[in-house]
A and B are shown apart, each in its own frame.
Chain A
Amino acid sequence: MSLHAQGAPMGKQDQTSWGWHMGVVVFVVAWFLIYKQLLGFSEWLTGLLPVERASHAGDALAFFLYDTPKVIMLLTLIVFAMGVVRSFFSPEKTRAMLSGKREGAGNLMSASLGILTPFCSCSAVPLFIGFVSAGVPLGVTFSFLIAAPMVNEVALVLLFGLVGWKVAVTYLVFGLGIAIVAGWIIGRLHLEDWLQDWVKDIHMGAVATEIPDEKLTMVDRYQQGIASVKEIVGKVWVWVVVGISLGALIHGYVPENAMVKIMGSGAWWSVPVAVIMGIPMYTNAAGVIPIVEALLDKGAALGTVLAFMMSVIALSLPEMLILRKVLTFKLIAVFAGVVGSGILAVGFLFNMIF
């Protein structure tokens, strides 16, 4: 996939960009019109199928036929919007903003920028070194590294679309909270000595260059939005379909309240078990949230389910293995311990409140 510019001849440039603006407006309007019809459409489609609507199979099918297009449409819109927004941010700019920031305010800023800055776990290591070598405090760097994968638009869209906006906002607030507090604690512990030796050496030498701003037009930004839709939605839709199918089966066939005993708020041990189970699991938000939604519906407690989700996304074993290149084992253990405790706390807190 490439980002070939449309190569408009001079003079026609304005015309092309107006075409793009109009195109985006038409797309958004069409999106809303279609989105409003989805429920009626899915019920109509279920009605055409040779199953009893009131049966288990009918339930499962209706759920699947409504939720799949809904989630994929929501993802497309939001991922496009985030792609455009992200074109205004880059890890290089973020690093410049964060370098020399004090802890506290720095952690808050860093975690928020973690949501907006484009990030993929394959560049976690260069990013880590780049931040630390430019004088971004270790704890502030960690706030970024925790927030960036955990609080992302895919997770938020799926929570909003499948579970509701309240849970989505809660996840956003507490995900950020964990990133800020965990980063702050790691900063307070002064663990700079626990970096791998070669990373400390780079720390001494200043990083030389700054990249001149690549001039982006609004059309370039739209194209980046489209590119991220192709990349993210193209990768994630399989997970969405698999996740929603599993969710649909749980909806149709698992008896009401079946989860109360194992995952209900009465079972206190279910929170730590959920966190531990989440660590080796490597899937993304798209696969996990449809299942989460179905579990909630069958009586699982919100805190337990949130803890499971956060653990799956934020404490992934593969990412820790990547970070092993720059962090000593001790530092990774502290990182996992602090973040894990934060997730536990959120889980228990929610089970108490709701």
Chain B
Amino acid sequence: MKDVKVYGPGCKRCDATEAMVRQTAEMLGIELQVEKVSDYAAIAMAGVVSTPGISVDGKLVHAGGLPNAADLETWLQA
């Protein structure tokens, strides 16, 4: 099972990103554990400067704005 973290203090786009991750996973039939990280210190520690950020299995793959749908599929499938 993949461990996905969505980093964001709780803005509209962060929620949208989380929903997008869940939807994509469902569409691809991948089992995920999605965690929303909203603590500023934890966000900064992960190296995310612009929110929302996404990490897959501890590796940061995206920061800033909504991810591209095609990219998201690649990250979740990798």
- Pair from one complex: yes
A92 to B46, CA, bound (A): 12
**Most A-side CB within 10 Å, residue of B41, B50, B65:** B50
**Inter-chain contact B61/A4, CB cutoff 8 Å:** no
Convert B53-65 into 0s and 1s, putting 1 for each residue whose CB lies closer than 8 angstroms to a CB of A. Answer: 0000001111111
Give the residues in chain A near B7, CB-CB below 8 Å: 126
- Which of A4, A7, A130, A211 touches B44 (beta carbons < 8 Å)? A130
Within 8 A of A (CB), among B46-78: 46-51, 59-71
Give the residues in chain B near A130, CB-CB below 8 Å: 44, 47-49
**Inter-chain contact A127/B70, CB cutoff 8 Å:** no
* Nearest opposing residue in chain B for A4, CB measure: B69
* Nearest opposing residue in chain B for A5, CB measure: B70
Determine if A210 is an interface residue (Cβ-Cβ < 8 Å): yes
Give the residues in chain A near B62, CB-CB below 8 Å: 211, 214
- Which of B9, B46, B61, B63 touches A125 (beta carbons < 8 Å)? B9
Give the residues in chain A near B46, CB-CB below 8 Å: 208-209
Determine if B45 is an interface residue (Cβ-Cβ < 8 Å): yes
Determine if A15 is an interface residue (Cβ-Cβ < 8 Å): no
Question: Closest approach, in angstroms, between the C-beta of A205 and any C-beta of chain B?
Answer: 7
**Inter-chain contact B60/A209, CB cutoff 8 Å:** yes
**Inter-chain contact B40/A118, CB cutoff 8 Å:** no
Given contact pairs A126-B51, A214-B68, a sample of 16 additional A-B residue pairs in the complex whose CB atoms are under 8 Å apart = A3-B66, A5-B70, A92-B63, A122-B51, A123-B11, A125-B9, A125-B40, A129-B44, A130-B44, A131-B49, A207-B47, A208-B46, A209-B47, A211-B63, A220-B68, A325-B40
Which residues does B use to contact A, with CB under 8 Å?
A: 7, 9, 11, 20, 40-41, 43-51, 59-71
A-B pairs with beta carbons under 8 Å apart, 16 shown: A90-B50, A122-B11, A122-B51, A123-B11, A123-B64, A125-B9, A126-B43, A126-B50, A202-B44, A208-B45, A208-B46, A209-B46, A209-B60, A210-B60, A214-B71, A220-B68
